[in-house]
């Protein structure tokens, strides 16, 4: 059950990231990279809590 829930949240996160990426295509790549780094950092911080 725990595994299933984790798998579901992972797939939801992938969908969210795919939507984000498609929207980020209109932003200059250097801005996109720095923004993605911020998102990854905040995701790591939120997982620790």
Residue with tokens 């993605």: 36
Q: Greatest CA separation found in the chain?
A: 42
Q: Please say whether the dihedral angle defined by the alpha carbons of residues 37, 12, 5 and 49, taken in this order, is positive or negative.
A: positive
| pTM: predicted TM-score of the whole model, two decimal places | 0.32
| Tens-place pLDDT, residues 16-47 | 888 887 877 766 666 777 888 888 888 888 77
For residue 27, what is the DSSP state?
S
Map out the domains of the chain as residue ranges. 2-48
pLDDT at 8: 58
pLDDT at 3: 54
* pLDDT-based confidence at residue 1 (cuts at 50, 70, 90): very low
Residue 22 CA to residue 8 CA, distance in Å, equals 21
């Amino acid at each position: 059950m725990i595994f299933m829930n984790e798998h579901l949240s992972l797939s939801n996160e992938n969908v969210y990231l795919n939507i984000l990426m498609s929207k980020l295509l209109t932003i200059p790549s250097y801005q996109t990279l720095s923004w993605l780094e911020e998102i990854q950092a905040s995701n790591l911080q939120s997982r620790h809590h």
